[in-house]
Structures are given as structure tokens and as C-alpha cells.
Structure 1
Amino acid sequence: MDSTNFTDVVILAGGFGERLWPASRPDYPKQFISLEGGLSFMQTSILRAIAVKPAGKILIITRKDLLASVAEQVHSLKLTLNQKDADKISEDLYILAEPCARHTCAPLLLACKFLKLTSKTQKNNILVLASDHVISPADRFVSDCEKAAKVSLDGNFVCFAIAPTEPSTGYGYIKSGAPLENQDGVFKIDMFKEKPDLETAKSYLASGNYWWNSGMFGFTASFFEEEINRFEPKIADSFKSFDKAVLPPEKTLNSVKYVSEWKPMEEAYATVKAIAVDNAIAERTERAVAVRATFNWDDVGSWDAFERLFSENVGKTVQIASKNNFIYSDIPVALCGVDDLVVVIKNGNALVMKKGSSGMMREVVKQIKEKI
């Protein structure tokens, strides 16, 4: 095994479909939306995991109610792959279905425990991906991952730093510290910053010392468990039942391996608190570093971002005395005398939004749930 590669990949695939409503919804979150070219966000994430060539497992961690949909996504992707990549999915991909949502720290500790029980290696070096990002080109992503894998093996918590292109208020930021010795394009993280207001975001962009936090990470399982024990001992206690755990009988759905009913997992999730890995470890460890990403990245976290990446179906639209509108619809749409709108008609629901108003979406979904 090449020591510069991650041994295992974890894809986090929860999500409740709020930011891209009504195309996404709790039972059909963003990762299932098809991109131009036919593959979904999730399927392209699996392709990225395969491209890294992990010697060990690919784990997709999702909610129990999404298990069938995730398995269908994996199965349909597998049918399009060459034999080598299809075999990798058949042999080494597992879906872990959480009993309930507990943010991102608990599922990553679950991944560490599962890999310890199933891996042939004593040094699980884990790459954590989201299931709903757009990344290109693939070769640059793989090259950056190889660099990150080497750094994480040295006992670091590795983030991927994205050079900001605008003063975005929708992303968390990383402030760069000193360069990591003998590692080109890698720096120590001075501090993490939550999503800023516009004026603060402008100051970050002007300084040149701040980067977007991509939400993808690298670390060894041993490092992660040590830091959990140090910073969040109650979370470690919730997972004590894994000390004597054995794997449940292997099950498949749509020819995809999965774990759902598993006593130690159920016991852990019954008491573990919900906290993001950013708050539990990334912001507290002294070993947080970042690789400057050379790939293009977008988490497509709003309809404004969606428009930048995808074209509308112009054959279904008519616009008269209207300009600068984006339409994403299952049915024909006509616009007359209006400008700068986002119009989304999906799943029997309609959204009409002035461009730049994506920050209102969580409140929209909240009120929709209350009134419908």
C-alpha cells in the first residue's frame, strides 16, 4: 500500500434538504439531485472516493430513513462502472445507517469504531467527504488528497482550504498560520471563524489570510479517538459499548452492503450528544493544518450557487420582456415583465425568489412545515 494514500474514505450523507427546497426535501435531500450529465451529487462523491484508491473501506453514513435511497444510488452507479471499480464497491463499500441524526462528530467516531473492527491495517488514515459538493478537476483533487494523507499520517487534523473568490457570508473561514515545515502548500491553522457578516467577509477577502473551510477532513482513526477522549470524554463514554462489539451479520440491499440494526451503535446514539466535528475537535486541537486546494470547489448551498453551475432547460421556458431569470422546473414556465428571479417548481411545490435572497430559505422551509 502506498503510504501517501488514505486507507479509507467516509462520505457523510445526512442532510434534510432545506437549502435547495423544493427540489430537495427531508426524504430527498440535495445529494440525490441529478447534475448535468445524469449523475447525482452523491454518485459523483462516490466516484471521488474511488479515485483516491483507498486500500480499505468506503463508508457512506446516512440516516436510517435514507438507507434505501442511498443503496439505490450506489447500485445504479455501479452498473455504469468498469469491472475494477464495480468490484471495489461490491467488496469494500458499506452504508452505515444511523439510528438518528447526531451532527458530524458521532458518525465519524462510529466510522473509526467500524473500521477498527473490519480493517486489516492497524493505521486507518481516513478521508472525510461530503455527499453534496461539486469538485473539479479530479486529478487535482486526488493530488491534493495524497498531500493531505501524508500530513494526516504525521498526527494532524487536516482541512482543505479553498481560496475565496468573493466575500461570502455562507461559508466558515480558516485563518492561515505559519507554513508547515517541509510541506509545500500546507499551513498551520491559526483559527477557525464562523460564517461572518458581509463587512467581516469583505475584510477577510482583503487580508489574503483567510480561506473557505471546505468541510472535508483527513485524520487517522487513532488521532481522532485520542482527541475525542481529551476534549469530549462524554462522547467517548457513549461509545464504550464498542470496546466489546462484534460485527452484525452482513446484509445487503440492492446488492450493497449495509449496517442498520446494530446494538452498540443503537446504545451509543441513545446517549451521545449532537455536535459538529468542527466544534468538538477542529477548533480545539493544536494539530489543525490545512492543504491549499488546487481544485475547484462549490458546496452548491443555495439557488444562487446552483445557477452558477447548471443551466436551465430553456425548452420549457418562455420569457417575454424579462431578463436575468433562472428557471428550474418540471413543467413549462412563462415569465412576463420580471427580472432577476429564481423560479423553482419541483415535487408539486413552487419557489419564486428574488436573486440574492437564498439566506431566507431556512425560514421558508420552517414556515412551509408549519402551514402545510
Structure 2
Amino acid sequence: MTRPRLAVVGNPENRRVTMLLDAAARRGVPTPRVVPWREVLIAGGARFDPDELVRLDSPGEDPDVDALLRGPGDPTRIADGPRWYASLLDAVGTLRGGRRLTDAEDLSVLFDKRRCHATLANGGVPVPVSPTSGADAPAPRNWPEVRELAAAAGLRRFFVKPAHGSSAAGVVAVETAPSGRVQARSSTEVAADGVHNSLRVRRLTGEAEVGALIDALAGELLHIEAWLPKPSSRGRTADLRVVVIAGRATHAVLRTSCHPMTNLHLGGQRGDLDIARAGFDSAGYGWDRALAVAERAAARFPRTLCVGVDLLPAANWRGAAVGEVNAFGDLLPGLTGLPGRADGLDTYGAQLAAVTGWADDAAA
């Protein structure tokens, strides 16, 4: 079998790129050519050989690249998301040649939560209720409009998310009561110089405090979706990140947290995956059926080799919905594949094992 020639557009020192190179070395695959995002953005493009398989990786965690995408400023700030999004898509459009492992149109949907939600819903994938699903949906400009849209959709507990955000940056989990009482939790902080992301999830209470935070975020193009009840694992709420490669769920991690956001960098922890497997099976829903929901979500992006699906189990494990699909959701260090699906392989090794056959099928 011909060994694939790989190229990756990424930030060379980032562990996403170095872990891919390590996986290639372990498999005896020729070292992928690394094309830095910084060079793409400064030079206005890059060119690839016709037989190169081109992987796009995250442009994050590099302050210089961040400044090129959305302008200078503190990298922790939550601002200029629409500019970042447009700049990223423009940069992807300057790449010439090669055969893509990450489709440009898929990427444009995956990094727009409103469009992604609509794409999933239109494909019959179970998703939380949302009054802002779709590119043509109303875009709330302030807290009163957020609250009005949520109330019209029957939502008392809901998430507010910047449409082009990632890693829970700018996400606010809001709870309202018939009495008018409002509270929220978020890792977002409002400072004199703007809105910033932090690693500490804090509680906000009262209409004034919650409203001020939402108003400060409103320029980011906001998405609203139902906050679904999650199951509990040892006193902590739980959901799953499922990595789907070439259409097949290969890796899964149970994420648990004492906060609504289960992201590991916000204090979430990896839980015992057997708890999820047993929960789905004992409830009669089935573990394989849950993985199939993640695969159905990934199937909406058939020209992209790998995505990470945030799977939301029902509180009683008798169902599952998809919260988000992540273009760069495969960074799960030390996690090996599911039995019978990617035995002994991390997420990068599994992609290398699948890449040649998938690329041939995708090009057909």
C-alpha cells in the first residue's frame, strides 16, 4: 500500500502538531510537512503538491496568529469573533492544491454554532431546542432580546454562546424562574478593558449582573440553546466527547464537572467511561446506539476526516443529543481507542490508519 504524503497547516510548536508527528513516527509514516498558520496569513496563502493530503489544525494558542486573525490585543479577550471567523475562512481559501482532510465548507459550518445546529437538526440529529438555529435566525443584540427569544422558545434554563467561539469561551449558563429571578454561571469576566475568558467558573446573580455580561458579549453574534439536564456521575454532571474518524466513533471520554461546562481546562475531569457504557445499556438505550448518534452528527460533514462530537446523555441515560461538533476536537492526550474500533491507537494514530482509504473514498 502506498504511504500517504501528509501536510498539516498548524502552529508548529503546538502539541496538536507535535502529537501528530509523533504518531507518524510510530507508524513509520513519512513525517508530515508542517505549514505554519503564521506563514499562511502573512504570505497570503500556501501551495501543496497534488498528492499531498492536507490536514488543517487549530490556529489557537499562538498570540501572533491570534492577532493576525482578529487584530492585536490580549489573547484572553472575547472580542472580534466574527472577524476571526472571516479571517480564518479567508486564509483557508488561499490554500492551493493537495487533497483536503478538512473541507473548507464543513469548517465554515463547524465554526458557526448557529449554522451547525441547523445542519444537525435538518439531518435528523437530536439537538437541544434553539431559537437562533440557522444563519437567518434572529441575532439577539442585548440581554432583553436574549431573554425574549428564550422565553418564546419555552426555555428557562439555557446556554448563551458566541457563535464563533470555542473551548467554552464566552459561554454563559443561564437559569430563570417564574418569579423573575435570574442567575448564571460563566468563566467570562467583564473588566475595564473588555470581556475576558478565565479558567474560573463563577456564579452571577440578579438581572443586572447577568444582563451586563450578556450585553458585553452581544457583539459576538450570540447563539441560544436549551440547557439539557445531564446525568450525574459520583455527584458531578457528565457528558461525553466522542471522536469520529472516517465516519466511525473511535474514541470517547466521559467528562465530569461540578459546573455546567464540562471542559477539562475549566476544572472538568475525565470520568470512568464504563459508567456511561453501563448507564446507556442498563437504561435500554444502548451504548452502540449512543455512539451511532455521534456518527450521525459526523456524517453531516462527510468531507472532513475527523470531528469531535459533544454528546449529551439524557439524565436517565435513555437518550442522547448532540451539543456541538468540533472541527479540532481530537486533542485527548493519552486516550486510546475504543475496543474493536481503534484498539491501542490514540486519536492521531487512528486518523493516520484511516486516512488513505478515506481520502480515496471522499475523492470518488
TM tier relative to shorter chain: under 0.3
What TM-score do the two structures reach when normalised by structure 2? 0.24
Instruction: Give me the TM-score of the superposition, normalised by structure 1.
Output: 0.24
